[in-house]
Amino acid sequence: MFWSTTTFVALAAFASSASAKTKETDLSILAGQHTIYSWPSTAEPPEELLTLTRAGLVGGVILFGENIAANATPGGILALQNAYAQSPAPALIESLTGVKHAPLLIMTDQEGGYVKRIPEGGPEHSAKITGQASDLEAAGGEAGSQAADTLLGYNNNANLAPVLDVFFEEGNFIDEFERSYNNVSAKVSTAGVAFLQAMQDLGVAAAAKHFPGLGKAPQGSNTDLVPVTLEVTEEELAAVDIPPFVDAIAAGVGMIMPSWAIYPAVDPDLPAGLSSIWLKERLRGELGLEGVTVSDAIEAGSLSPFGGAGELGVLAAGAGMDLLLASARDVGQGVEVREAVAEAVASGVLDRGEFDEATERIVKLREKLGAAAARVLIPFKGPASLSWILAPLRIPPGLEPLEEGFLRHRSSNRQRPPIRHPLRQNFLLGRPDRIRMLTRIRPNSLPVLHIHLKRKPAKHPPPRPVRVHGAKPATLGYDAHDAPGHQSRLLPELAGARVQDGLVGAVDGAAGGFPAVGHAVVGSAAEEEGAVLGVED
């Protein structure tokens, strides 16, 4: 699966001799990788944020409704990514962790229903409606796919969803706006895990929230506004609230967002997100989380007794929080958090070894997203009757094509063999209604490659032969949309060509020499899985 769990190994040199040699500037850059910034009012990021990004001092941003505009947001985010790519941060990160490409985290809240920062996008239904479906896995997966499709269209790569809180009573805080899937823990797990897996399969990191659960928070108990204490026994937490997060961890969730509520049964003094008991002992120690922890809003009203933004950033990082969400729509808040964390690491208030481990977790997550960025597809518009389509991958400017990665079935945890596509133009297969799904060929499949021409075949010169590599034979042909009867023909030159479900090929808009190609299609109606084909001239 795309999000396989990995053991992150802290480099000894990174924590000792390299630590002593790290420049103050380098420490600021590293602290920046832990900081998620925000800005007010505009779709395009302000120059202040772009300047910080060019200096390598930004790890990501969170977008709100006022930052969303179809004609401005994608370009603004690309400008941020390009500014970061030209900063000193990538070289520093590579020298310390070996990670070559770790783009910024671009995140928002796209839960579905009432909570969508991109209102015209999916998921169409709220979590509660999704959680009432007869097939929870299918409904959760569909919602996750819709969320990913929406976010990818705006150049986002992370979603602060799904909510895995199990609501205790109708109309309480988490149920009021239908943000919880169900009041049954197992149903929340099924729908929520399907949501996050579908989303991560498509290259969007998920953040399961709000650990260990806000399901018992009464109506009006919003941690964004006021301190919240939940009198829940450890037995109740273990039986009802925590299991969905256990399942999310087992499924390889990219991030977990702890709550800002206090749970006196475990830690009577600190909110979960500021508590090392919750983050280090329970979440990492007992539950085995190897992914990233991301804070809820650092400016939340529930944290007002514990200090300002800088102090809270240090407290959270010390407790075991990796990413710090400075979401007050104020770039200066992110600066305050970053500077406080850098100073705390330099002075020894924050443990350098733990800080380095957190840095590595963050950049490993971002590395996966960088690989996934090469697999974002241009939306396909074609006949609904087609079984499979082979569509071009969009590779953002300044990014290298993916050299190696993994394919995963939407409904399976089985890891797929590596794929390689170092060629000029990348293509990937999918069904028209699941265009971004990554699949591979069945062992005994015989797919058909159709080339859709813009004019009748008679008006074109004979196509040059195309060689398709691999272990299985394939039948190749073309469809002429405006030819009488929409006939399909086999191309004799391609008979006996072979399929490889590892190499993605360069067909450069003309499918290996076929003139005026509109779309290439692979597969047959009887197939339930598809193939990635390598095509060469």
Per residue in 342-378, pLDDT (tens digit) is: 999 999 999 999 999 999 999 999 999 987 764 433 3
Instruction: Give the closest residue to 370 by CA, choosing from 205, 149, 141, 206.
Output: 205
478 near 514, Cβ under 8 Å?
yes
Residue 189: what pLDDT? 98
**Range(s) of the chain covered by CATH 3.20.20.300:** 40-373
CA 488-491-497 angle, 5° bins: 120
CA 253-365-307 angle, 5° bins: 85
Fold of 40-373: TIM Barrel (3.20.20)
Question: What is the three-class DSSP state of 521?
Answer: strand
Paired sense of beta strands 448-453 and 517-522, if any: antiparallel
CA distance 92 to 88: 6
CA distance 372 to 106: 14
Residue 22: what pLDDT? 55
* pLDDT tens, the chain, 537 aa long: 344 433 333 334 444 444 444 588 999 999 999 999 999 988 899 999 999 999 999 999 999 999 999 888 988 998 999 999 999 999 999 999 999 999 999 999 999 999 999 998 999 999 999 999 999 999 999 999 899 989 988 889 999 999 999 999 999 999 999 999 999 999 999 999 999 999 998 889 999 999 999 999 999 999 999 999 999 999 999 999 999 999 999 999 999 999 999 999 999 999 999 999 999 999 999 999 999 999 999 999 999 999 999 999 999 999 999 999 999 999 999 999 999 999 999 999 999 999 999 999 999 999 999 877 644 333 333 333 333 334 333 333 333 333 322 222 222 333 333 233 222 233 333 333 333 322 222 222 223 233 232 223 333 333 333 333 332 333 333 332 323 332 233 223 222 333 222 222 222 222 322 222 223 333 322 222 233 332 222
The count of other CB atoms within 10 Å of the CB of residue 520 is: 23
Backbone angles phi, psi at 5, to 5 degrees: -70, 140
CA distance 180 to 141: 16
Question: Is the backbone of residue 54 left (phi > 0), alpha (psi -120 to 50) or beta?
Answer: alpha
Residue 78: what pLDDT? 87
Residue 201: what pLDDT? 86
How far, in whole angstroms, is CA 499 from its chain's centroid? 30
Identify residue 142 by its one-letter amino acid code.
E
> Is the sign of the CA dihedral 422, 426, 430, 434 positive or negative?
positive
Q: Strands (DSSP E) along 226-313, which ranges?
A: 255-258, 262-263, 267-271, 292-297
Backbone angles phi, psi at 297, to 5 degrees: -55, 125
CA distance 298 to 35: 11
Identify residue 440 by its one-letter amino acid code.
R
171 near 219, Cβ under 8 Å?
yes
How far, in whole angstroms, is CA 158 from its chain's centroid? 4
Residue 373: what pLDDT? 65
Q: Which helix (H) or strand (E) holds 98?
A: none
